[in-house]
């Protein structure tokens, strides 16, 4: 499947994604979408995935989030299908993009059937690992979910370990995340020592 995405098609897709991100929190704003696209391009190249599918899915992966956070993958896939049909993409291409969007959230981890879907999943989840991921996740639980710092710290630590050890689906993502992940394990160890004042 060889697809060439025109500049006008891409501009409309990016504009659609930008508009749908306007009401999202800063962990899921348009900058998050742009990072997801960049990471998807890197992963797609190293994993021999279809770049066009990955890039378009990355631009559109969170478009359903404002409607319903819990099932935004399903909602986003339906929205993307309508958009891509209107823009004249072939049905096979649309199906691959929509599958990647549908399975990109944590609930869809075991449902990804293509390398492109795994790339989008990992491009999204890599942003929750390492120092950058810590800042992003810690603010999510303290600012938006009202958790106390110690409780948020424990949640973020457990989530990061789970994401790295059980969720990442491509070898490239695991390789990219390994050093940031090890750094965070040391960070958590030192945090716990200082929390106990165990520094003698």
Is 68 a residue whose pLDDT tops 80? no
Whether the CB-CB separation of 48 and 115 falls below 8 Å is answered with yes
Residues in the chain: 200
Say which residues have a Cβ less than 8 Å from residue 123's Cβ, sequence separation at least 6.
36, 37, 39, 40, 43, 54, 58, 173
- Report the distance separating Cα 81 and Cα 64, nearest Å: 12
Of 6 and 93, the one with more pLDDT: 93
Say which residues have a Cβ less than 8 Å from residue 156's Cβ, sequence separation at least 6.
134, 137, 138, 141
At 2, is the pLDDT very low, low, confident or very high (cuts 50, 70, 90)?
Answer: low
**pLDDT value at residue 106:** 78
pLDDT tens for residues 88-143?
999 999 999 999 999 998 777 778 999 999 999 999 999 999 999 999 999 999 99
Fold of 1-124: Hypothetical protein af1432 (1.10.3210)
User: CA–CA distance from 54 to each of 39, 48, 121, 149 (Å)?
Assistant: 10, 11, 10, 36
CB count within 10 Å of CB 175 equals: 11
- The two tokens of residue 147 are 């958790």
- Domain(s) of CATH 1.10.3210.10: residues in the chain: 1-124
| DSSP secondary structure of 59-128 | HHTTTTTTT-STTHHHHHHHHHHHHHHHTT--HHHHHHHHHHHHT-SGGGTTT--SHHHHHHHHHHHGGG
CB count within 10 Å of CB 155 equals: 16
pLDDT tens for residues 11-63?
999 999 999 888 877 778 899 999 999 999 999 999 999 999 999 999 999 99
């Amino acid at each position: 499947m060889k697809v060439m995405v025109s500049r006008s098609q891409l501009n409309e897709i990016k504009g659609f994604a930008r508009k749908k991100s306007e009401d999202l929190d800063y962990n899921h704003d348009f900058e998050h979408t742009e990072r997801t696209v960049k990471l998807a391009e890197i992963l797609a190249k190293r994993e021999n995935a279809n770049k066009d599918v990955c890039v378009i899915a990355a631009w559109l992966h969170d478009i359903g989030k404002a409607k319903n956070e819990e099932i935004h993958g399903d909602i986003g896939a339906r929205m993307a299908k309508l958009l891509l049909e209107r823009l004249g993409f072939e049905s096979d291409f649309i199906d691959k993009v929509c599958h990647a969007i549908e399975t990109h959230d944590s609930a869809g981890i075991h449902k990804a059937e293509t390398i492109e879907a795994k790339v989008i999943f990992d491009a999204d989840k890599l942003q929750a690992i390492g120092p950058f991921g810590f800042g992003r996740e810690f603010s999510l639980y303290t600012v938006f979910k009202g958790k106390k710092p110690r409780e948020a710290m424990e949640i973020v630590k457990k989530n990061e370990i789970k994401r790295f050890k059980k969720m990442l689906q491509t070898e490239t993502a695991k390789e990219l995340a390994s050093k940031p992940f090890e750094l965070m394990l040391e960070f958590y160890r030192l945090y716990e020592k200082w929390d106990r004042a165990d520094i003698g």
